[in-house]
Amino acid sequence: MTLTELFFLVVYISVIGGLFGVVSLFLSRVLKRSLPLWFSLCGLALYGIPVLSPQVRLFSPEPEQRLPAFTVAAWVWAAGFALFLAYRVMRLLLAGRALRRCPPCRDQRLLHLTAQCAQSLGMKRIPPLLETPLDSPISVGGVLRPALLADAAVLSQLTDAQLQAVLTHELTHILCHHLLCQRVYDVVCAIHWFNPLAWLCREDFALHCESDCDTHVLRFLSGSITIGEYARAILRLLELSACKDGKATQGVGALAFLHTKRRLGRLLAKPAPWKERLLSAGLAILLVLALAFSAEFSRQHFYPYPAYSVGIEHGV
């Protein structure tokens, strides 16, 4: 396997994943449809796994000649991939180092509610609760050994019901391994750094993870909290994070506001059950069509090439 062969494979996967991403982004951002997380995970898989026809080979057993410009492009891609991957690795190392320096939370109310929510979710291991100076009042950190990062001073202003909803939401992230999936998507974006659709899909994937958690929380806490109360808890948390020391005059960031607006829009939308089943069936059909297209498309671009079957070959 040469660098040009690897780059050709990456370009092919990027085209297939990009086409699937266009459909996903159109449904999500234009038609305002709330897509299930499994559909976004399929998009992630299409960006990382080539779907080829069983009649072709991934790499040609015969030597191939490429244009000099294609070889240059392959080296540029390799350099970009190395830079983006090094950046992601450095961020993970620095985040892990900062995580180890965070002191454990001493707030007994938070510790009790965290343990209660973790046990209710059936988690065998209660994640550690650490104090954090981050802007977000509560978040999840750590890929292999996740922990809850909390600002006890901010969270103490929430009611028990609001805290239960917020903690259940964050624990669901850990239970569903959302953080690990997002780090995998980061590697995918490093591979496809030249494809803006991959970055847009990565941003949408984070929102789908949040919506997936919202769905799980409302289903798990059904009867103890309503959709309206849960939405007010999200807004209250956003308000408190904007009013932290040093941020009172800055307000809520535009990106955080837009993400919250999209998230609440999906949360408050109440499609009929038959519409959700119809959407799931339509998404499954789109996925099958994408796989079939990728397999058929591969017959035109991988060995043995179509020209071999008709006895006509053209140099490249």
**What is the pLDDT, as a whole number, of residue 225?**
84
Non-local CB neighbours of 166 within 8 Å, separated by 6+ positions: 138, 155, 158, 233, 237
* Mean pLDDT computed over 165-189: 93
Alpha-carbon distance of 308 to 19, in angstroms, equals 28
Q: Is the pLDDT of residue 251 over 50?
A: no
CA dihedral angle for residue 209, residue 215, residue 216, residue 217, rounded to 10 degrees: 110
Q: Is the pLDDT of residue 135 over 90?
A: no
Terminal CA-to-CA distance of the chain, rounded, Å?
18
**What is the pLDDT, as a whole number, of residue 247?**
46
| Closest to 117 (Cα-Cα) out of 130, 126, 108 | 126
Instruction: Specify the DSSP class assigned to residue 52.
Output: -
**What is the pLDDT, as a whole number, of residue 136?**
77
Q: Is the pLDDT of residue 308 over 80?
A: no
Q: Is the pLDDT of residue 302 over 70?
A: yes
SS3 140: strand
Tokens read off for 153: 């001073």
Using alpha carbons only, give the angle 134, 265, 237 rounded to the nearest 5 degrees.
30
Between residues 247 and 141, the one the model is more confident about: 141
Angstrom CA distances, 105 to 96, 109, 112, 151, stand at 18, 10, 11, 9
Q: Are strands 129-131 and 138-141 parallel, antiparallel or unpaired?
A: unpaired
Non-local CB neighbours of 72 within 8 Å, separated by 6+ positions: none
Alpha-carbon distance of 119 to 124, in angstroms, equals 8
Q: Is the pLDDT of residue 316 over 80?
A: no
Angstrom CA distances, 94 to 89, 90, 194, stand at 9, 6, 26
The DSSP string of 191-256 is: HTTT-HHHHHHHHHHHHHHHHHHHHHHHHHTTTTS-HHHHHHHHHHHHHHHHTSTTTTTT-S-HHH
How does pLDDT run across 76-108, given as a tens digit for each residue? 999 999 999 999 999 999 988 988 888 999 989
Tokens read off for 200: 């847009």
Task: Quote the pTM value.
Answer: 0.86
**C-alpha 202: how far from chain center:** 5
**Overall residue count recorded for the chain in this entry:** 316
Between residues 284 and 302, the one the model is more confident about: 284
Q: What percent of the chain has pLDDT over 70?
A: 91
Angstrom CA distances, 133 to 98, 110, 205, 251, stand at 11, 16, 26, 17
Q: How many helices (H) and strands (E) does the chain have?
A: 12, 3
Strand partners, 140: 148
Band the pLDDT of 315: cuts 50, 70, 90. Answer: very low
| Every domain of the chain and the residues it spans | 1-101+271-316
For CA atoms 153, 99, 44, 126, give the dihedral sign: negative
Q: Is the pLDDT of residue 260 over 60?
A: yes
Alpha-carbon distance of 51 to 40, in angstroms, equals 17
For residue 159, the number of C-alpha atoms closer than 13 Å in the C-beta half-sphere is: 9
At residue 141, what are phi and psi to the nearest 5 degrees?
-130, 150
